[in-house]
Structures are given as structure tokens and as C-alpha cells.
């Protein structure tokens, strides 16, 4: 396993070369798309998104009222459900995603929660909040193109996040969201640990988590110091545990989607559509469908973009970006009519 995720290739390879690499499937044994396995991915995604998720208004109310028992019961239920059924990882992960500045949650309330209970859940929640703040400060650009002020703010906030998330894993090493947060912190800041270090520890406690592997896959992207070959290799490694979670199959398409992103940045939308389409042969991901819809629009292929957007909404009717993009297309058609 380690040859795929420890042997990172630094620096940038031309997008043309990356595309050729993926087309050639240079990793021995790279699997071909499977309609049956893609269908299993799609069904698993649909089932997961139909499960109830903690709501930010409910979480904020618990925090405001200092009802920490109610709050922790809510998150403990999500965790126990996931222990019994891997599909419940989505509500668990989305529940922790609520802890971020843009949700309107006050950090002072999180500080009070941590002080009152000192629980792994509380530390993870505050760690997620600081991790998201650090991510926002960092941005998604290459380090060489990120200002010193941004990097300094990122380092300061991610150090606080790391302390909380590490404390959470000490209190409960089975609480997978804390490990996910640490991988993200290792990506955005040069700390005493790397995403490789964290993933190697985390998978010993939880080998069923899709989002843990997805977060680690992000750290293998070229923009974070990895490579397409490393992404392909890790995706292949994940197949060893495919019986534990059918969603691991969709990771086979992540390297293709990443190259498609690069084509999008370059304005080569036809190539982007081609690579996103290859990624989607391994199963649906809402982000990939959204980005392909955007590229299809840029190519003047609105009808195809509309199909992608309606597919997203069939999984998640409340998906804001897909709704906005679809309304834009429908409005354009109405004006032409």
C-alpha cells in the first residue's frame, strides 16, 4: 500500500501528459468501468442522502441553550447508526460539516461546550470549525500563488484545529470525523504530521469509511503535492476493501475528475467534459455531475447539462448550486421561446 500514498510526485506535469497517463491506465490492474458496480455506488449514494441529517438550527439551539447532553445524544446516535450501517456515515459527516463560520455558529458557544464536557464530540466540533476557517483562509490555489498573510492565518488557525482534533482522537480513536479533519489540516498546513501519517493511523480504527478515503484522496491531488498516478494507485488499493463499502468503487474516477478540473481552469471545456464523463463511468458523485454540467453549458450543450442537474436533484432536491444552474438554463430557454 505505501508505494502508492507515500511516494508522492512533486511538481506539475502538463495536463496533456496527465490526460495521456490516465487514458493509458498506467497502473497495472487498473479496473475498467463496471455498470453493475456503478449502479451499486449510485444506489448507496441515494440511500445515504435519504437518511435524516442533523440540522444547523437544531444544533445552534442546543448550543444556545447550553443543552450539551441533547447535543451529544444527537451526535452519538449518528455515530452508533454508522457503526451498525456504513450508509449512516453520510449523516455523521454532514453533521460535523455544520460546524463552520458560514453556518452562523459562534465559536464562543463551541468554547463553552468544550469547557463544560471535554468530550471527543465537542473537541471534534470545534476542530472542524477551526479547520474550515483555516481552509477558507488558505484558499484552493497552489502554495506558490498564495499570499504570505493567507498562509500565516492558515497556519495559526490550523494549529488550533490540530490540537482539538488530536485531543478528540485520544479520547475516542474510533470517531472517524476527527481523523478526517486531521487529514485536511495536514493538507493545508505544514504541521508535525502529514495526511499520510494520519490516514495510516485512521484506517486501523475504521476501514469502512468512504469519507476518510475521499479526504485522503484529495491530499493526493497534484495541487497538494501528489500526482494522478498516486491517485490511481490509491483508488486501486481501496478495492481491497470493496466488500466493506460499495462506494469505494467511485474513487476509481477521482483522478479523471481532477484532470477535468484542470482542463476547466484552462478553458478547454470539451476536454473537461470528456474526462468528467470518464470519471462518472465509475458511479455518480454530485460534485462531478455539477462540474460536468458547468462545462457542458460552456460548450453550449444546455440539454445535456440540464440532464446532469436533474440527476443531482434526484439525489438531493435541496442542492442549491444545481437548482440555481437549472433555473438559469430554463430561464434562457423561456426567453428564447
Query: Does residue 315 form part of some domain?
Result: no
What number of other Cβ atoms are within 10 A of residue 184's Cβ?
25
Chain mean pLDDT for the chain: 89
Query: Does residue 334 form part of some domain?
Result: no
Query: Does residue 211 form part of some domain?
Result: yes
pLDDT tens figures, 24-70 = 444 456 789 999 999 999 999 999 999 999 999 999 999 999 999 99
Contact 248, 213 (CB under 8 A): yes
Query: Does residue 191 form part of some domain?
Result: yes
Give the separation between CA 36 and CA 98, rounded to whole angstroms. Answer: 34
Identify the burial level of 40 via C-beta atoms within 10 angstroms of its C-beta, where 0-12 means exposed, 13-18 middle and 19 or more buried: middle
Query: Does residue 89 form part of some domain?
Result: yes
Q: What average pLDDT does range 70-97 have in this prediction?
A: 97
Identify the burial level of 104 via C-beta atoms within 10 angstroms of its C-beta, where 0-12 means exposed, 13-18 middle and 19 or more buried: exposed
Place 238 in a pLDDT band, splitting at 50, 70 and 90: very high
Query: Does residue 236 form part of some domain?
Result: no
Query: Does residue 74 form part of some domain?
Result: yes
Give the separation between CA 50 and CA 129, rounded to whole angstroms. Answer: 25
User: How many helices and strands (H and E) does the chain possess?
Assistant: 18, 0
Nearest CA-CA partner of 324 in 298, 296, 294, 303? 294
pLDDT tens figures, 120-159 = 999 999 999 999 988 887 766 666 666 777 777 788 888 9
For 203, the domain range is 50-219
Number of domains, the chain: 1
pTM, 2 dp: 0.89
The mean-pLDDT minimum among 136-140, 202-206, 312-316 falls in 136-140
Q: What is the largest CA-CA distance in the chain?
A: 62
pLDDT tens figures, 171-192 = 999 999 999 999 999 988 766 7
Query: Does residue 281 form part of some domain?
Result: no
Domain with 187 in it: what CATH number?
1.25.40
What number of other Cβ atoms are within 10 A of residue 316's Cβ?
15
Nearest CA-CA partner of 141 in 265, 230, 260, 255? 265
Q: What average pLDDT does range 105-110 have in this prediction?
A: 96
Place 223 in a pLDDT band, splitting at 50, 70 and 90: confident
Examine the pLDDT at 322 and tell me if it is beyond 90: yes
The set of long-range contacts for 234-239, using a CB threshold of 8 Å and a minimum separation of 24, is 234/4, 234/5, 236/4, 236/27, 236/29, 236/30, 236/31, 237/1, 237/4, 237/5, 238/213, 239/31
CA 210 to chain centre: 10
Residue 24: per-residue pLDDT: 46
Amino acid at each position: 500500500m505505501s508505494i502508492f500514498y507515500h511516494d508522492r510526485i512533486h511538481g506539475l506535469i502538463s495536463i496533456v501528459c496527465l490526460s495521456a497517463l490516465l487514458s493509458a491506465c498506467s497502473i497495472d490492474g487498473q479496473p475498467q468501468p463496471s455498470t453493475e458496480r456503478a449502479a451499486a455506488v449510485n444506489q448507496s449514494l441515494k440511500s445515504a442522502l435519504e437518511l435524516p441529517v442533523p440540522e444547523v438550527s437544531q444544533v445552534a439551539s442546543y448550543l444556545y441553550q447550553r443543552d450539551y447532553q441533547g447535543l451529544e445524544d444527537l451526535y452519538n446516535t449518528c455515530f452508533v447508526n454508522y457503526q451498525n450501517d456504513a450508509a449512516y456515515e453520510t449523516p455523521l459527516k454532514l453533521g460535523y460539516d455544520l460546524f463552520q463560520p458560514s453556518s452562523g455558529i459562534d465559536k464562543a458557544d463551541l468554547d463553552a461546550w468544550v469547557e463544560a464536557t471535554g468530550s471527543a464530540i465537542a473537541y471534534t466540533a470545534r476542530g472542524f470549525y477551526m479547520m474550515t476557517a483555516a481552509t477558507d483562509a488558505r484558499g484552493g490555489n497552489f502554495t506558490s500563488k498564495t499570499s504570505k498573510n493567507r498562509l500565516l492565518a492558515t497556519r495559526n488557525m490550523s494549529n488550533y484545529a490540530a490540537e482539538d482534533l488530536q485531543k478528540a482522537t485520544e479520547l475516542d480513536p474510533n470517531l472517524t470525523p476527527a481523523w478526517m479533519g486531521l487529514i485536511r489540516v495536514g493538507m493545508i498546513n505544514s504541521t508535525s504530521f502529514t495526511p499520510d501519517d494520519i490516514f495510516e493511523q485512521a484506517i486501523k480504527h475504521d476501514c469502512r469509511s468512504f469519507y476518510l478515503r475521499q479526504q485522503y484522496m484529495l491530499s493526493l491531488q497534484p495541487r497538494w503535492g501528489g500526482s494522478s498516478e498516486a491517485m490511481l494507485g490509491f483508488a486501486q488499493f481501496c478495492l481491497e476493501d470493496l466488500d466493506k463499502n460499495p462506494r469505494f468503487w467511485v474513487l476509481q474516477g477521482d483522478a479523471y475528475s481532477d484532470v477535468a478540473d484542470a482542463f476547466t481552469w484552462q478553458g478547454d471545456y470539451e476536454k473537461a467534459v470528456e474526462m468528467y464523463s470518464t470519471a462518472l463511468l465509475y458511479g455518480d458523485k454530485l460534485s462531478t455531475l455539477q462540474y460536468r454540467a458547468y462545462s457542458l453549458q460552456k460548450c453550449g450543450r444546455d440539454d445535456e447539462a440540464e440532464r446532469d442537474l436533474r440527476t443531482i436533484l434526484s439525489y438531493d432536491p435541496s442542492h442549491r448550486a444545481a437548482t440555481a444552474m437549472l433555473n438559469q438554463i430554463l430561464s434562457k430557454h423561456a426567453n428564447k421561446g
